[in-house]
C-alpha cells in the first residue's frame, strides 16, 4: 500500500525550476527520509505534499487524495511538525494539546498523547519554560493529537544536544511502531541512517538516488578499503573481495589494526549531490 505517490512533479518560481520532474513512492507504515542540500527542492516538494503549495505539473496522491484539492477530512488524517512553530507561550503543555485537539473530529485523549511524547511530568508547565527538546516533543504532540495516518517531520532535531536527539529518535520509532507513516527531512545523515526504512536524495530538483540507507547509491556493493599495519607502516587496499584479500594477507602472520570499511552514508550522499567530501 502506498501512502504517497508522486509522478512528474514540477514547480518553478519566476521561471527557475525548484522541482524538475520528481517521481517518488512512500509506503504506508514506513519511515521515509528525504535528503538534500538547501535549495535542492526538498521543502517545495514537502509543502506540495502537505497541501500548502500549488504545483505546476505532475500527479500527486497523498493518502489517496490530491493534496491540492483535498478538504478538511483529508487534513485531519495528516500531522505536520514544522521546523519552527509559533505558540502561545503562556499556555501549559496540557492546555496547548487540548486546544489543538479541538481542531479534529476524533482526537486522541490529551493525557494519552502527552504521555506518548514523554511530557507527563511537564503537563502543567508553561510552554515558555520548556527546554528545546521538550518543546519539540510538544510539537510532535500537537502534530499527532488528531490520530494522523501520516506525519511530516521537518528537520525535527535541529539544535538538539546528542542526548536529546537520541530521546527524540526513540519517540519517532514509537510512532512508527504504531503504524504511522513518517516523512522525515533532515540534514543529519546519522539520523536518516538510524530512523529511515528508505531514503531518497534530491538535488537540482530531481531525485538522484533512492533505496535503503545500507544500499543507497550502491553502498552495499561498493569497493571496500582494507587497512592494516605491517613492518613497513600503514597499508590500505581498495578491493571488491575483502574477505579473500584478508585470507591471502594473513597467511602465516597477524595483521595489526585490521579494518574493513565501505563508503559511509555521508560519503555516498556527498557524491550524489556533487559535493567533494573535504568541502562539506
Model confidence pLDDT, tens digit, residues 128-180: 999 888 888 898 899 999 999 999 998 888 777 888 888 889 888 998 999 99
Sign of the dihedral defined by the CA atoms of residues 70, 208, 39, 56, in that order: negative
What lies within 8 Å, CB to CB, of 136 at 6+ separation is: 81, 156, 157, 160, 164, 168
Task: Answer whether residue 138 is part of any domain.
Answer: no
Q: Residue 83 and residue 11: Cα distance in Å, rounded?
A: 22
Residues 248 and 196 in one domain: no
Residues 255 and 235 in one domain: yes
Is the separation of the CB atoms in 159 and 133 below 8 Å?
Answer: no
Is the separation of the CB atoms in 138 and 171 below 8 Å?
Answer: no
Task: Answer whether residue 42 is part of any domain.
Answer: yes
Residue 38, domain extent: 1-73+179-221+264-280
Task: Answer whether residue 114 is part of any domain.
Answer: no
Quote the pLDDT of residue 6.
Answer: 97
Task: Answer whether residue 90 is part of any domain.
Answer: no
Q: Using one digit for the tens of pLDDT, what is the confidence trace for 184-236? A: 998 889 999 999 999 999 999 999 999 999 888 777 777 888 888 877 788 88
Task: Answer whether residue 8 is part of any domain.
Answer: yes
We report the CATH number of the domain holding residue 276 as 3.40.50.300
Domain count, the chain: 2
Task: Answer whether residue 125 is part of any domain.
Answer: no
Is the separation of the CB atoms in 196 and 213 below 8 Å?
Answer: yes
Q: Using one digit for the tens of pLDDT, what is the confidence trace for 84-131? A: 666 678 899 999 999 999 999 999 999 999 998 889 999 999 999 998
Residues 187 and 254 in one domain: no
* E-strand stretches of the chain: 2-13, 16-27, 31-35, 57-62, 78-81, 150-154, 181-185, 198-203, 206-211, 224-230, 233-239, 256-261
Residues 1 and 47 in one domain: yes
Residues 32 and 60 in one domain: yes
Amino acid at each position: 500500500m502506498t501512502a504517497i505517490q508522486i509522478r512528474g512533479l514540477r514547480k518553478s518560481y519566476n521561471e527557475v525550476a525548484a522541482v524538475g520532474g520528481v517521481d517518488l513512492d512512500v509506503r504506508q507504515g514506513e519511515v521515509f527520509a528525504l535528503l538534500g542540500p538547501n535549495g535542492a527542492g526538498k521543502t517545495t516538494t514537502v509543502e506540495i505534499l502537505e497541501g500548502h503549495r500549488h504545483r505546476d505539473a505532475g500527479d500527486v496522491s497523498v493518502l489517496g487524495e490530491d493534496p491540492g484539492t483535498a478538504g478538511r477530512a483529508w487534513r485531519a488524517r495528516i500531522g505536520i511538525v514544522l521546523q519552527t512553530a509559533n505558540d502561545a507561550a503562556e499556555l501549559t503543555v496540557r492546555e496547548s494539546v487540548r486546544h489543538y485537539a479541538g481542531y479534529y473530529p476524533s482526537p486522541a485523549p490529551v493525557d494519552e498523547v502527552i504521555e506518548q511524547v514523554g511530557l507527563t511530568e511537564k503537563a502543567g508547565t508553561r510552554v515558555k519554560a520548556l527546554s528545546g527538546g521538550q518543546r519539540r516533543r510538544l510539537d510532535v504532540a500537537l502534530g499527532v493529537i488528531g490520530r494522523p495516518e501520516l506525519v511530516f517531520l521537518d528537520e525535527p532535531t535541529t539544535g538538539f544536544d546528542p542526548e536529546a536527539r537520541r530521546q527524540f529518535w526513540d519517540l519517532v520509532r514509537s510512532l512508527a511502531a504504531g503504524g504511522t507513516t513518517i516523512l522525515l527531512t533532515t540534514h543529519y545523515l546519522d539520523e536518516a541512517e538510524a530512523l529511515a526504512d528508505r531514503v531518497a536524495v534530491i538535488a537540482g530538483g530531481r531525485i538522484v538516488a533512492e533505496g535503503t540507507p545500507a544500499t543507497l547509491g550502491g553502498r552495499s556493493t561498493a569497493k571496500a578499503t582494507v587497512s592494516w599495519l605491517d613492518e613497513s607502516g600503514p597499508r590500505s587496499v581498495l578491493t571488491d573481495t575483502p574477505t579473500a584479500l584478508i585470507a591471502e594477507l594473513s597467511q602465516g602472520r597477524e595483521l595489526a589494526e585490521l579494518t574493513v570499511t565501505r563508503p559511509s552514508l555521508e560519503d555516498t550522499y556527498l557524491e550524489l549531490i556533487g559535493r567533494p567530501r573535504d568541502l562539506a
